[in-house]
Structure 1
Amino acid sequence: MSTAPEPPLPSHPVLRLRLAPRSGMPRPIDGAWWPRSYDLPTELPSLLSGLPRAWGHIASVTVNGATWPTAPGRMLVFNQVVRLRRALAASAPHTVVLLAPGRGRWDLLVVPPDTTDEAAQPLMAAAASDDV
């Protein structure tokens, strides 16, 4: 009697992030992030781990309060405290703002989690394009 091999353990999903090339000029959008849910405490560690080391420690993350449900005021990510802020500005409902003291600010387009792959890919490519 033979037994079927055990299925592999689930791996961590691939981070869906596209960043614009570095340049000396400020940009309105620095790339795009396509989270799998609007659960910030679940999604944030994956995002922060995928950012370039040159960005330094992201100490503050601001999301749109109308889009993202309530999250704690701060959370521990990789043994570092990250402040979570919810803005109510209607001007940027699909962005996340990342701040690293002494390093800079980066604004990422947030592609809604329920967006199809066909619709998300052009949005992410445009946000990471040199033409912004």
Structure 2
Amino acid sequence: MMTALLSPSTPSSPVTAAATAHSAFRLSLNPLLDRRGTVDGAWWPRTRDAAAELPALISAVDQRLGRAVLRVGLYLDAWDHIPRRIPAPGRQVRVGWFRSAEPHLITLSIAGTAPITLLVIPPGTANGPATAALTLAATGTVGVRPADILHPAGPDEGIPGRDGSASWENEGGRVTDLVPARPAAT
């Protein structure tokens, strides 16, 4: 099974994994979009500047799916310069930001279909690990956490949830300091 890796300049042309090291790919989508996995694909932005990066993502997804992205939801602390709206052909795409979401995910509400969830690969990630994450995210992620897909994708210092605490706390758990064990009585 070949996963489609998409370039913003030619969003519908698949490229092989070997060719990706020198190409400008940034997006992979599960061709089935069956909604069974944790994510429906992955996106590898060049920067954390949402105003600069989101227009190309919206355009690529619009072209790939033949449907319009209507809304984008992202984790507030993972991005800089988040606009309220992004201009797109014939519409304004609304941008919502949240602190209760998974930091490595972005959600795209699409006209006529269920929302698409993409794994965000941190900018600056090396080509090899990014390619691996792009491929895995688009080939089946049932039961796989976003952090597990990104594990080989390099450092994400400063992004909450890398240790799983964000998902634990979002599910009702609470991270506490460990209490030192008492010495054994002799």
Q: Choose which of 17, 22, 30 in structure 1 pairs with 2:40.
A: 30
Segment drifting more, 61-70 vs 73-82: 73-82
Could you say what secondary structure the match of 1:99 adopts? strand
Assess if the C-alpha contact under 8 Å between 1:45 and 1:78 holds in 2.
no
Could you say what secondary structure the match of 2:115 adopts? strand
2:56 is the alignment partner of 1:42: no
Q: What does residue 65 of structure 2 align with?
A: 53
Q: Larger helix proportion, structure 1 or 2? A: 2
TM-score, normalization by structure 2: 0.58
Aligned-partner residue type, residue 62 of structure 1: G
- Give the % identical residues: 31
Please list every run of 5 or more consecutive structure 2 residues that lacks an aligned counterpart in the other structure: 1-8, 10-22, 143-186
Q: What does residue 179 of structure 2 align with?
A: none
Q: Choose which of 126, 132, 140 in structure 2 pairs with 1:122.
A: 132
**What do the CA deviations read for 1:57-76 (whole angstroms, capped 9, x no partner)?**
11110111010124121121
Tell me the distance in 2 between the aligned counterparts of 1:131 and 1:63.
Answer: 20
Q: What does residue 63 of structure 1 align with?
A: 74
Q: 1:75 to 1:118 in 2, by over 3 A?
A: same
Tell me the distance in 1 between the aligned counterparts of 2:91 and 2:83.
Answer: 15
Which of the pair has more CA radius of gyration?
2
2:56 is the alignment partner of 1:19: no
Q: Larger strand proportion, structure 1 or 2? A: 1
Give the RMSD, CA atoms, in angstroms: 2.0
**What do the CA deviations read for 1:92-119 (whole angstroms, capped 9, x no partner)?**
1111100024322000000001111122
Assess if the C-alpha contact under 8 Å between 1:45 and 1:77 holds in 2.
yes
Tell me the distance in 2 between the aligned counterparts of 1:101 and 1:20.
Answer: 18
Could you say what secondary structure the match of 1:61 adopts? strand
Assess if the C-alpha contact under 8 Å between 1:98 and 1:105 holds in 2.
yes
Residue correspondences, number = 119
Deviation at residue 28 of structure 1 after TM alignment: 1.9
Q: What does residue 87 of structure 2 align with?
A: 76
